[in-house]
Structure 1
Amino acid sequence: MHKDSVTGETVQGTKSEDMMDEHHDPHDTNETFHDEATRAHDAPVRIDTEARLGRGPFLIVGLVLVLVVVFVLVGIHSRASAENKLQHDTVAASVDPVFVTSPSGGAKAQEIKLPANTQAFIDTPIYSRTNGYLLKWYADIGTSVRKGQLLAVIQTPEVDQQVAQAKADVATAESNVQIAEITANRWKTLLAKNAVSKQETDQALSDFTARQSALNSAKANLSRLEQLQGFERIYAPFDGVVTARNVDIGSLVQAGDSNTPHSELFHMSAVGTLRLFVPVPEVYAGAVHNGAKVAVTSDAFPNDKFEGTIVRNSNTIDSSSRTLNVEVDLPNSTHKMLPGQYAFVHIPIPSGTSSMTLPSNALLFRAEGLQVGVVQGDRVHLTPVTIGHDYGATVEITAGLRPTDKVVLNPSDSLAEGAHVHVEQGKDQ
């Protein structure tokens, strides 16, 4: 019995073999060793599988437990991170982002821009004062004319004949006056000699006086007809522009009467100076002063600014519109501005010494009155304010704010006292 050199196991041999080993010749040692090595190499290898199989399941279970623990820890951490993020987002969502601005301290003089109705300084239609036919016209639409310039000629044959008849009547009346005067003088001479009666002399003198009155009447009629004849020629009554021509050669022209409407021949406008009528709101009526200079602009000339003068106002507030009608005269020698053109008058409005201006979109209209949201730290305090003038995009603040206050722009209707807000940067106005 011996141990195998390879496996370490005890090997049971035969007795003869053992005896042979005991009495083996030392010279055969190498051969014996070679045989034993060969047998050991050819012998089957045995592995201690029982020990190895006993430890394997425990390792696998351990690895599984470790993985489970890792997954649990990762899940717990992920859930905690999600909850923290949700809580942070919820808190952030509950804080409203706002933009703020500060009131401009010491508001400078402002102006209001009001639409104006532009009219020509003189705007009149030209009618005929006599009946006839248009013989010729000399000015068409858009023509600039001077005062006294001939515009048209009307042919009036009936008036011409009436003038000729009136002249004959005057000549007859003059002859009658002349003979009546000679007769009256003769009767005076005879009366001085007591050759005729006083009654006959008075009749001669009365006839002379009547003849003189008839002559005066004939002359007046002739003068009237000559004036009508003079209306055959139409002249410009002032310097201006012909804005309309309503007749042409051969058109029938009627002077018209109470039963017949007049026929307008031309329409003229004096555009050297324009009248601008501006309805000024009642709240700004105190800023209107006659003689004050004002700026005038028009969308047709966005880069130009004209200077006008307040010449008069109605001195009364229209009860229907609550406005003051103000007239502004605008020199227009270049005729750049046109009657009827849309224009704006800029009326200066002086501001108070302690007033400030604030954008109109910062105001809150509440039942408690006019308010603004002032940011103090990270909270909003609703502050009542008093406004002066309304300039459109901005308003004048006369009470309730300080120049250092941070006022919320475009506040929401739901903005409440003490609301938690976050002031955004970069858009202060």
Structure 2
Amino acid sequence: MTEKNHASLAIPARDPNEGPALPPRHVEWKRAKIALVIVLALLAIGAARTVVTDVMHSHSIATRTQQNAQQYVNVVVPAQTDGGGDTTLPGTLRGFVESPIYARATGYLLHWYVDIGARVKQGQVLADLDTPEIDQELAQAVAQRDQTASSLGLAKSSLERWQQLRQRDAVSQQELDERQSTYNQDVANLAAADANVKRLRQLESFKRVVAPFAGVVTQRNVDVGDLIDAGSGTSRALFALAQSDPLRVFVQLPQAYAQNVTVGQDVTVSQAELPGQQFHGKITHISGAIDVPTRSLQVEVTLPNHDGRLRPGAYVQVAVPASAHARLLVPGNALLFRAEGPRLAVVDGNGHVRLHKIVIAQDLGQSLEIESGIDASDKVIINPSDSIADGDHVTIAPQQKQSQQPQPASGAKAAS
């Protein structure tokens, strides 16, 4: 029995023609458990990676949102002028005397003697007119004057005879008074006739159009054969005449500088078309009132022009005395236009915006000269957004390039 059992439990011999032997079941189960653990580990790693990515992405979004919520601004510290110097303002050259020349007599233009650009002397003939109506009226007036003179002679001799008769009491006093009245009337008629003849002769003298002053002809508006109407109401000017030496320059001085100018001060005039050349004049007249619409003071400068290089009507730059005290300069792109008036946005020590009401002394184009409203230590925001409001919290960006700073100038230059 024992031998049989041992024989039945013995492992049969392996046939060499059979395939490889399969591993035992417990080995396969162990391998499956290992594979399952690996898959679960990979799933756990993937889940952990997803969670970490989501957390990092959320943190990045929050950080970016916080950064975007911050308002970055660029600031500049006002520059300070040193005061004094000159303020350059636009001006207009005008002839010292300018006048359109109208005709005083009605007629036809017979001839003109000067054209534009001609320099004429006072009393020089500019044109001749043909006035047949005035000539006829003058001839008639002279004839009437001769008739009146003849009547006066007869009345005078008659009065003298009646006076002699009255002395002999041959005529009444009434008759003598009548002869005296007739004589007086004829005297008055002769005076009226003489005045009429003188008027027509003076009117006829206007057939010769002459220059009322020495100057240069700037316009000629008529030609030979034109019908000329007397007066300046609806008629056109025959010529325009201007005296070019000396010249007058009219300047509108801002109210902030009105107290800095006086009669007799020297000024310098320059013209862009004449680079490097300066002309010196004096302030001769100052308006006694500020112009309300422009808040400026009109100043008149007399400018010698012996060589004729400057021409009436030209646009020039006039350097007049500037303010005696220093002011602050800020870039022009820092200005805010609000309904309450001009404002500058200033950042305080806590990073909050404060809108300051300012008074602009002068607009210099790329910069503004501030009379009041800010201090030299204020941080002024440049290029502020239109939506910026008082109390907003901002962050100052890194310092800009030096060119962003307003450059102080010894003499402020006004824009044209």
Check if 1:138 corresponds to 2:110: no
Check if 1:100 corresponds to 2:85: no
CA shift at 1:114, angstroms? 5.1
Give the letter for the 1:358 counterpart. Answer: V
For this pair of structures, how many residues does the alignment match? 365
- Check whether the contact 1:372–1:385 (CA below 8 A) recurs between aligned residues: no
| Separation in structure 2 between the aligned mates of residue 140 and residue 368 of structure 1, nearest angstrom | 53
Pick from 220, 229, 242 the counterpart of residue 217 of structure 2.
Answer: 242
Counterpart for residue 73 of structure 1: 48
Query: Structure 2: any 5+ residue segments left out of the alignment?
Result: 4-9, 157-163, 169-183, 406-416
| Separation in structure 2 between the aligned mates of residue 153 and residue 10 of structure 1, nearest angstrom | 157
Give the letter for the 2:260 counterpart. Answer: A
| Separation in structure 1 between the aligned mates of residue 357 and residue 222 of structure 2, nearest angstrom | 65
| Separation in structure 2 between the aligned mates of residue 232 and residue 361 of structure 1, nearest angstrom | 63
| Separation in structure 1 between the aligned mates of residue 355 and residue 196 of structure 2, nearest angstrom | 85
Query: Structure 1: any 5+ residue segments left out of the alignment?
Result: 2-8, 13-39, 181-195, 201-209
Counterpart for residue 269 of structure 1: 242
Give the letter for the 1:127 counterpart. Answer: Y
Give the letter for the 1:58 counterpart. Answer: K
| Separation in structure 2 between the aligned mates of residue 318 and residue 368 of structure 1, nearest angstrom | 20
Give the letter for the 1:426 counterpart. Answer: Q
Q: TM-score, normalised by structure 1?
A: 0.64
Alignment of structure 1 residues 10-409 onto 2, 5 Å: 10-11=11-12, 42-51=16-25, 52-109=27-84, 116=91, 118-156=93-131, 162=138, 230-253=205-228, 255=230, 264-296=237-269, 307-318=280-291, 322-332=295-305, 333-334=307-308, 336-339=310-313, 341=314, 345-353=318-326, 355-362=327-334, 372-376=345-349, 379-380=351-352, 382=354, 387=359, 389-392=361-364, 393-396=367-370, 401-403=375-377, 405-409=378-382
- Check whether the contact 2:86–2:320 (CA below 8 A) recurs between aligned residues: yes
CA shift at 1:101, angstroms? 0.9
- Change in 2 beyond 3 A, CA 1:69/1:295: farther
**Secondary structure of the residue that 2:263 maps to in structure 1?**
coil
Residue deviations 1:55-86 (CA, integer Å, cap 9, x gap): 33223212211211221222122112212212
| Separation in structure 2 between the aligned mates of residue 287 and residue 414 of structure 1, nearest angstrom | 38
Counterpart for residue 421 of structure 1: 395
- Change in 2 beyond 3 A, CA 1:91/1:307: farther
Residue deviations 1:259-314 (CA, integer Å, cap 9, x gap): x9666432222234443434444443223322234455667779876555332122
- Change in 2 beyond 3 A, CA 1:95/1:111: farther
**Secondary structure of the residue that 1:291 maps to in structure 2?**
coil
Aligned-residue CA RMSD (Å): 5.1
CA shift at 1:379, angstroms? 2.2
Percent identical pairs in the alignment equals 30
Q: Which moved more, 1:113-122 or 1:91-100?
A: 113-122
- Check whether the contact 2:84–2:324 (CA below 8 A) recurs between aligned residues: yes
- Check whether the contact 1:359–1:395 (CA below 8 A) recurs between aligned residues: no
- Change in 2 beyond 3 A, CA 1:267/1:63: same
**Secondary structure of the residue that 1:99 maps to in structure 2?**
strand
Higher RCO structure (Cα 8 Å, ≥6 apart): 2
Counterpart for residue 24 of structure 1: none
- Check whether the contact 1:153–1:232 (CA below 8 A) recurs between aligned residues: yes
| Separation in structure 2 between the aligned mates of residue 93 and residue 356 of structure 1, nearest angstrom | 34
CA shift at 1:109, angstroms? 3.6
Give the letter for the 1:317 counterpart. Answer: I
Give the greater-gyration-radius structure (CA): 1
| Separation in structure 2 between the aligned mates of residue 226 and residue 120 of structure 1, nearest angstrom | 33
